[in-house]
Structures are given as structure tokens and as C-alpha cells.
Chains A and B, each alone.
Chain A
């Protein structure tokens, strides 16, 4: 049984939504650093 008396198989839906937000943040940061690297290389 997971948190709030909800089975992990169901609670995983909340975690998936949270993981999607985390993925978005990681992608945004990765994209920013990729752009910086490309700018440095062009200089």
C-alpha cells in the first residue's frame, strides 16, 4: 500500500505527472546549456 491508503499502482499516476514536470525542467536546463556550448564553440 502506498501513501494515503492508495496502492502504489494507482499512486504512480501522481508520481508520473510529477516526473513529467521534472523532465520538462531537466530538458529546459539541458537545452540552455546546449545553447551556451554552441555559442562558446562559435566564438
Chain B
């Protein structure tokens, strides 16, 4: 335990030092929110990996591997191909160019400028803000659960400790602190997962030995789709990969990269880094033969860690799990606070702030949102617990089509976008709310898929009927007119 505490203290101190060292680098709100678009490809790529995979993915992914076997590795593979490589190729360059030309620093700000519609900004910011706070509570809760299981730390102490550290470096150093700490966290996560994978597979007798032993337990634990079946495996792989395309805390990495050329190095680094997504599932499958008697699949990875790693390895793994949660929480925290300040307060309510005051307001708002998230996570109300299961689905199904259509289809109609956002989010919510009343054969369909389908139908139909955005907004987005000079000049 003393080694674990020492490693953890060192690790948390490193995060705090990074935040403190970068405190003076934010001279404006744009610096605080997107690092002044100065971030290099390596930091962008690894911080993307760290923000993508939270503690829930590591512990929960292991649980899936334990329960359903090697077929779950397909979830990780889909995360790499669809959630990472294709997302970077399809979205990266255009999002980088469009947000710069339009002077947008938030996703809602991009929608407003691209579609020439202030109401889209407020609607998107309010909806995304509310559900991202819920999402952040779930991330914090997952991280604190990891502390509980791996370190025997009381849940509330874990929430407080991790929450305060993140608040300190986010409010102090802004986006640059978030990406640089995420960069460090990405390295720690990769090292921790590779270490666990190597020792677990070795203990199971190599990959062949693992496959043979799993087949003895149940041949369905080795084959695909195996014991899970196609419906569950395919839909889960799809939703946790395509969801990325509408999540603001991941899309922001494209706004902040130094220039579009950096995406070339970035896409290769991020694809290699994201390959760690396969590891929790592989380790979970290894846990099925190495620790078959765990009380719950969620305990598979912690039990495996104790079995195959020594104190130092276990400490590194705990740091990796904590890193995964912290980087996701910090990224989301910054998105919520910047959206509330710029999209809701300044643009929505029409309360302009001078540049210095906007920077201070962003710092203050990140503290407020962080404190609220920590307070709610200490004892989440029942409703919040219900919402955490699909809050990300509402956010992703709200944003995905308006973003994709906005960067590829000039004639996309603002009215269609607004209708698609409302229909996508509404149907995802309604589906989850009515879930228990659905026939058994429909229960496997996640609300995200429903929201995505309804949102697509509405935006396509709306485009056929509605008028496109003002010509000036389109020309500016496509670089045919001078860019917006500052974020506030976006409308």
C-alpha cells in the first residue's frame, strides 16, 4: 500500500505542477478554452486518447471481457477504426479550418456561426451543458469507484481528492493544462494497460494458452460473436465508437491543434495510441481463466491486477485508471464552463464581457461547475444515476449530424439543424425513459441509435424543405470571405 500511495502522490503532484507551470500561458479566453490553437500533434493525439477512454472503460471493458470473452476485443478494434482513425480523417481537417475561419471556440459557437442562427447556439449549449454535467458526474463516480476497489479508499474521500486536483489544474492552467496533463495521463494509461496485458497473457500461457483455456470454460468465449451474439456486440461497438463524432470534449482537440498539417502526424499517433482500447477486453478475458471466482465482473480487472502485478505495477495501474478518469473529467469540465460563459452568458443573454473579464469568468465558471459536479457525485440523486447511463448518448445524438452536415453540405438548413437536434435528443431520451415498457426484442437497441436515426431523417427531410444558412455565413465557413477576427465576431 505504501508504494501505491507514494506513486499516486508523485503522480498527483506532477499534475498540479503542470497546472501551476501553465498558469500564465492563458492571456485571453481563447487561450484558456482552446490553448490559442497552438497545441502540437503528439499532445493533441495522446490527450485525445486519454479523454476518450475513461476509468469506466478500463474497469467496465474488463468486465465485458470477463463475461463475454475474446469477441469483445472487437469493441476496442471498432474504437480504433471508427472512433479514432476515421473520426480524425473525416472530421479533423474540416473542423480545424471551419472553426478558425468562423472564430468559434465552442461547438455551439461553431453551429451559431456556420448556420447564422443564435437560437441554435443557445439550444445546443443548454442541452449539451446540462447533460455533460451529468456525464461528468458519472466519470467522477467511476473514478472514485476505481479508488475504492483498487486502494480501499472511502468513496467520498476519493471523489473529493480527485475532484480537487482536477479543479486546481483546470482553473489554473486552462486548456493547455488539460491537454498537457492528459498527454501525461495518456502515457501513464498506455504503460499501465500494456504492463497488465503482458503479465496477464503470460500468466494465462500466452495467447494460445489463453484461447485454449477459455475454450475449455465455454467455446463461445473464444469465437465471434460468441456468447454475446451479434446484436449486442455490434450495437455496443458501434455506439461507443460513433458517439465520439458528437462529443465536444473530443472534437475540441481538432480546434486547438496548431494547424491542419499537424493532423498527419496526429492521426498516426492517435491510431497507435487508441489501440490500447483492445487491452481491457483482452485482460478481462484473461481474468476469466485466472480469477474465475470474482463476486462481480466489475471486480475482474482489480482482482487480475492484484494477481499478476507486484506493488509497483499495481501502483502504476491504479495511476493509469485514475489518469483515464481525470483526463475525461477535466476535458468535459472545460467544455461546460466555456460554453456557459460564451454561448449562454455572453451570446445568449447578450452580456458582453471585456477580454480580461471573460478569461476570469471562464476560470470562475470551471470552478463552479467542478464544485457542483463534485457535490453531486458525493451522493448522486436517483435521477442523476438514471441519467448517467445515457447522458453521453443525448449529447452525441444532438451534435453529430449538425456537425457532419455543417462541414460537408453547404446547403444545410438552420431550421433542419434545430429540428434534428431537438428530435435526436428527444427521441434518445424518450427511448431510454420508455425502455422498460418496450418488447424484449427491442430492449437491446440503445437510445443513441434511435436518436441518431431520427436526427438523420429529420435533417435530411428538413434540408429538402428548408432554406440554407445566409450566404455570408456559408462563404465565410468555406473560406471564400474574410475570417472572423475574434470569437465574439462570429455572428
Chain A residues in the interface with B (C-beta under 8 A): 3-7, 9-10, 12-14, 16-17, 19-21, 23-25, 27-28, 31-32, 35
Instruction: For A13, give its contact among B222, B265, B278 (CB under 8 Å).
Output: B278
Contact partners of A10 in chain B: CB under 8 A? 70-71, 73-74, 222-224, 226
Contact of A13 with B76 at beta-carbon distance under 8 Å, contacts A4-B206, A28-B267 already known = yes
- Identify whether the interface residues of B are mostly helix, strand, loop, or mixed: helix
Kindly identify which residue among A5, A9, A19 contacts B81, using a CB–CB cutoff of 8 Å.
A19
Complex: how many Å from CA A20 to CA B74? Answer: 13
Report how far A24 CA is from B265 CA in the complex, Å.
9
Cα–Cα distance between A4 and B201 once the two chains are bound (Å) = 12
Residue of B nearest to A27 (CB): B89
Is B207's beta carbon under 8 Å from chain A?
yes
Cβ-defined contact, B76 with A17, below 8 A: yes
Contact check, A7 vs B77: say whether CB atoms are below 8 A apart: no
Which chain B residues numbered 74 to 100 have a C-beta less than 8 Å away from chain A? Answer: 74, 76-78, 80-81, 84-86, 88-89
- B74 engages A13 (CB within 8 Å): yes
Inter-chain contact B222/A27, CB cutoff 8 Å: no
Contact A28 to B264, CB < 8 A, known contacts A7-B223, A16-B80, A20-B85: yes
B308 on the interface (CB 8 Å rule)? no
CB within 8 Å for A9 and B207 given contacts A16-B81, A20-B80, A27-B89: no
**Which 3 A-B pairs have CB atoms at the shortest separation, nearest pair first?**
A4-B207, A28-B264, A9-B224
Residues of A within 8 A of B224 (CB): 7, 9-10, 12-13
What residue in chain B is nearest A22 (Cβ atoms)? B271
Judged by a CB distance under 8 angstroms, whether B275 is at the interface is yes
A9 to B71, CA, bound (A): 8
Q: Given A5-B208, A5-B215, A16-B80, list of 16 further CB < 8 A pairs?
A: A9-B223, A10-B70, A10-B223, A10-B226, A12-B74, A13-B77, A16-B74, A17-B278, A21-B85, A21-B271, A21-B275, A23-B86, A24-B270, A25-B268, A27-B267, A28-B265
CB–CB A16/B268 < 8 A: no
Shortest CB distance A11–B (Å): 9
Residues of B within 8 A of A16 (CB): 74, 77-78, 80-81
15 contacts between A and B (CB under 8 A): A4-B206, A6-B211, A6-B222, A7-B224, A10-B70, A14-B73, A14-B278, A16-B80, A20-B84, A24-B267, A24-B268, A24-B270, A27-B89, A27-B267, A35-B261
Contacts of B207 in A (CB 8 A): 3-6
- The residue among A12, A25, A28, A32 with the most chain B CB atoms within 10 A of its own CB is A28
Asked if B148 is at the interface of the complex by the 8 Å CB criterion, the answer is no
Residues of the A chain whose Cβ atoms lie less than 8 Å from the Cβ of B270:
24
With A4-B207, A35-B261 as contacts: A17 and B275 at CB distance below 8 Å? yes
Asked if residues A6 and B264 are in contact (CB atoms below 8 Å), the reply is no
Report chain B residues within 8 Å CB of A24: 85, 88-89, 267-268, 270-271
A13 to B81, CA, bound (A): 10
Question: Which residues of B have CB within 8 Å of A19?
Answer: 81
Report chain A residues within 8 Å CB of B88.
24
Q: Name which residue of chain B comes closest to A4, CB basis.
A: B207
The CA-CA distance from A9 to B208 in the complex, in Å, is 15
Of A5, A12, A21, which is within 8 A of B268 by CB? A21
> How far apart are the CA atoms of A14 and B197 in the complex, in Å?
14
Q: How far is the CA of A35 from the CA of B212 in the complex (A)?
A: 50
| B272 at interface by CB-CB < 8 Å | yes
Q: Are B70 and A6 in contact (CB under 8 A)?
A: yes
Complex CA gap A13/B212 in Å reads 18
A3 to B206, CA, bound (A): 12
Closest CB in chain A relative to B89 CB, distance in Å? 5
Interface centre among B73, B206, B226, B261, by most chain A C-beta atoms within 10 angstroms, is B73
